[in-house]
């Protein structure tokens, strides 16, 4: 079965707390690190074994991907289309293209684009809290949401 896992990055520090003046450099908070580990553990229990993890290049997304990779053993590749500024159509086209090469793709991205992408793919509106994820069966048309949570 072809699977697409969409993950919202875990909780990040504010720019003020992190003492950074750009959104792209906001790191995960300690809460966020624990959220990402919890999500990784849930993915393991769901027997999810991604072939690759694509992530937004923003620090909080990269750190979330690193924690997931540590649990799931998949390589990480940064992809600027996942930074939350690309059109939903371009992100979906990119992810669909990856599913021609890989059976299970995990993508770490941002809200609200993750919500819009999930709705465009499977027709369901999901409210993604930090570190929340959706697992989609891409063999079905339209794709079927088979798990949503943390």
Instruction: Domain ranges for the chain, please list them.
Output: 10-136
Note whether 64 and 55 are within 8 A (CB). Answer: yes
- Evaluate if residue 135 carries a pLDDT over 90: yes
- Evaluate if residue 18 carries a pLDDT over 90: no
Chain CA centroid to CA 127, Å: 14
Listed in sequence order, the residues at least 6 apart from 79 whose beta carbon sits closer than 8 Å to its beta carbon are 54, 55, 56, 57, 94, 107
CB atoms within 10 A of CB 18: 17
Mean pLDDT of the chain: 96
Q: What pLDDT is recorded for position 76?
A: 98
Note whether 6 and 33 are within 8 A (CB). Answer: no
Task: For residues 107 and 9, give the distance between their C-alpha atoms in angstroms, rounded to a whole number.
Answer: 10
Domain 10-136 carries which CATH code?
A: 3.40.50.1240
DSSP tag of 46: T
99-128 as b/e: b if 16+ CB within 10 A = beebebbbbbbbeebbbebbeebbeeebeb
- Evaluate if residue 15 carries a pLDDT over 90: no
Q: What pLDDT is recorded for position 116?
A: 96
**108 φ, ψ (degrees, to nearest 5):** -105, 120
């Amino acid at each position: 079965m072809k699977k697409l896992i969409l993950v919202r990055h875990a909780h990040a520090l504010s720019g003020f707390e992190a003492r950074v003046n750009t959104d792209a450099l906001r790191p995960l908070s300690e809460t966020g690190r624990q959220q990402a580990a919890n999500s990784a553990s849930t993915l393991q229990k769901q027997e999810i074994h991604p072939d690759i993890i694509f992530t937004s290049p923003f620090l909080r997304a990269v750190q979330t991907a690193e924690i997931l990779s540590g649990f799931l053993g998949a390589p990480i590749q940064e992809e600027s289309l996942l930074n939350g500024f690309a059109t939903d159509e371009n992100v979906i086209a990119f992810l669909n293209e990856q599913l021609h090469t890989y059976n299970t793709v995990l993508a770490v991205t941002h809200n609200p684009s993750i919500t819009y992408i999930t709705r465009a793919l499977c027709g369901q509106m999901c409210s993604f809290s930090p570190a929340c994820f959706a697992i989609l069966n891409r063999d079905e048309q339209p794709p079927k949401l088979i798990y949503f949570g943390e």
